[in-house]
Structure 1
Amino acid sequence: MASSKAVFDWLCIAGVAALAIAGECLIAAAMQKIGDLDNIRAVSGMPGAIKAVLTNPLFLVGALCMALNFFALLFTLSNVDLSLAAPATASLTYIGNAVAAKYFLRENVDKRRWLAASFVALGVVLISR
């Protein structure tokens, strides 16, 4: 049975990864919806491009998730060993982004990327033991 410290550590790590995945997925969806900023800037200048980004609700929620991710990471690093927290959050974020890209953003995630994500998952298992 896992100790309460180990459960707490993994909840912290999972929270950081979940906020990063949500933020990156939402910001990517927003930027896909907004389109090429160079085209917007060519038509309405830099203020138009900035307005297009800052008035997009997906972008704003994604940015909020990324801000919360930063503070969750600070909390995690104050409670979990860096040698576990850093690689585990990075690895879980990498895996989660592949899943989010496939199922939420409808991107074509090829076999090579799934294989890479599988190796990353194996690495997470190895560092957690």
Structure 2
Amino acid sequence: MHHTSRLVSWSCIAVVAALAIAGEVLIAAAMREVGDLDVIRAKSGLPGAIRAVLSTPTFLVGAVCMALNFFAMLFTLSLVDLSLAAPGIGSLNYVGNAIAARLFLRENVDRRRWIAILFVAAGVFLLSR
């Protein structure tokens, strides 16, 4: 690891993951709001489908979160070793997406997924030592 403290490293990783989770959940919610793009495209053509997506505020906020995620990832990789950042971000995304999908999208996250999430989180904890 570079000469970056653990607090700074994990704070950067957490920000990257939080932006990705927010972006993914917002985009998923927006696409549920928009509906089936094939149906929209059949009625309005490809421009109509694109317009339907881009005119959804939830999608736009999600896209901004994903753009910020990209730049936060670049910043994080300038400070934190990839061998810690990638699995740390990935595991936080995995855990965070499951929790957010359950809370905000009302998805059913079964016991098997929660067990898998625990194993992923344990693995990243071991890597960070």
Moved over 3 A (4+): none
Partners of 1:32 and 1:65 in 2: CA distance: 18
- C-alpha RMSD of the superposition: 1.2
- Unaligned ranges ≥5, structure 2: none
Partners of 2:18 and 2:123 in 1: CA distance: 18
1:78 counterpart residue number: 78
1:39 counterpart residue number: 39
Amino acid at match of 1:86: A
User: Map of 1:17-36 to 2, 5 A cutoff?
Assistant: 17-36=17-36
2:106 counterpart residue number: 106
Partners of 2:35 and 2:115 in 1: CA distance: 30
Partners of 1:124 and 1:28 in 2: CA distance: 26
Partners of 2:104 and 2:121 in 1: CA distance: 20
* C-alpha deviation, 1:128, in angstroms: 1.2
- Unaligned ranges ≥5, structure 1: none
Amino acid at match of 1:80: V
User: Map of 1:48-67 to 2, 5 A cutoff?
Assistant: 48-67=48-67
User: What's the secondary structure of 2:5's corresponding residue?
Assistant: helix
User: Map of 1:114-129 to 2, 5 A cutoff?
Assistant: 114-129=114-129
User: What's the secondary structure of 2:99's corresponding residue?
Assistant: helix
Cα deviation, 1:11-53, whole Å, max 9, x if unaligned, reads 0000000000000000000001111100000011111100000
TM-score (norm 1): 0.96
TM-score (norm 2): 0.96
* C-alpha deviation, 1:119, in angstroms: 0.7
Partners of 1:6 and 1:45 in 2: CA distance: 51
* C-alpha deviation, 1:57, in angstroms: 0.5
* C-alpha deviation, 1:123, in angstroms: 1.1
Amino acid at match of 1:64: V
User: What's the secondary structure of 1:106's corresponding residue?
Assistant: coil
User: What's the secondary structure of 2:109's corresponding residue?
Assistant: coil
User: Map of 1:83-98 to 2, 5 A cutoff?
Assistant: 83-98=83-98
Partners of 1:34 and 1:108 in 2: CA distance: 21
Amino acid at match of 1:32: R
